[in-house]
Copies of this chain bind each other. A is one copy, B any other.
């Protein structure tokens, strides 16, 4: 059922986390490759990751296909040496425009044998906590070696340091502003830092937990949304009304299937800030109760409501009649009619429209065509 079996190169972050956790649990060696710097326009940005396992299989992507081969070749050497290294790939091959968007530009890649040090990051992520992984990627300071690492939790406290040297603590505390600003923009960047004994370049890698897509309903149309949601990288949870026919085995794309009452759907929300809910029970009362419960009882940023605008207006009338007062900010979290405006009514296209909207909201975007967007496609990462 994993889509990485179909096309490992386009494995999602969720799939990469799963693969890393499985390698660690099984004591199976692997090399993690991470883009730490890019000069010029590239297909993927800093922080993009690929996993290489013995036998030369790989998961994930660092370019559109230019560097995956060379990095796989290097991985065996990295495993043999048992320590991290950074390789610079200079692909400036006479492309006079510098805009080939392919095998050109200069890309720095951190290659490291997977160890339990990354495991503490995975543990935090599995508990829906963002983490910041700081890794020395260049050093003229004799006390700091490439690969030295500190993993910070969301309070900027240091997590465990199994299998790896920690970065000097004053270096980490000096970077707290940078860490904060990268966390806000959910991005990753290499930063040059002066120490008393030299210069250290630290890659500040901000990792977000996998977002969760909570689908309330159990009719056929849940399936395509679950499928596309899973493919797009969400952890999918299906919440079915108690007493419904479903026994859970019906939803192969869901990570969890819970049986719930609409007034208790908040109990199915594990990480509210990172949960995107879609109400699609096709039952007016159930959807209304679930909407009220999610808006009042949780801070989920997005509640998609299936059906026409008029249906939500009817719900609002009922809220008034029942004395349910919803604030403006609560109402703004409601997305109805649900989805992006793709103009389609086929189930899989409706699913595409819904999942695309949740992704856009997750990334603080509005959908709409990029050609019409003002300013750059990616936010510029500015650090203090």
Interface residues of chain A, those whose CB is within 8 Å of chain B, are 3, 6-7, 9-10, 12-13, 41, 43-45, 48, 61, 64-66, 68, 95, 97, 99-103, 219-221, 223-224, 227-228, 231-233, 281-284, 306-311, 314, 334-349, 351-353, 355-357, 359-360, 362-373, 376-378
Contact = CB atoms under 8 A, between A and B. Distances in A.
Counting from the closest, the 3 A-B pairs by CB-CB distance are: A343-B363, A102-B282, A343-B365
A96 to B, nearest CB: 9
Q: How many copies does the complex hold?
A: 2
Contacts of A346: 10, 12-13, 233
B339 A370 contact: yes
Nearest to A288: B97
A232 B348 contact: yes
Contact of A352 (B103, B352, B369): B352
B370 A340 contact: yes
Contact of A369 (B6, B103, B366, B371): B366
19 contacts: A12-B346, A43-B282, A65-B221, A97-B311, A99-B307, A101-B306, A101-B307, A102-B281, A102-B282, A309-B377, A339-B370, A340-B369, A341-B373, A343-B363, A357-B370, A366-B368, A367-B368, A367-B369, A368-B368
Contacts of A232: 348-349, 352
A353 B356 contact: yes
Given A9-B223, A64-B219, A367 B341 contact: yes
A236 to B, nearest CB: 14
Contacts of A6: 227
A93 to B, nearest CB: 11
Contact of A337 (B220, B281, B353, B371): B371
Contact of A363 (B13, B342, B378): B342
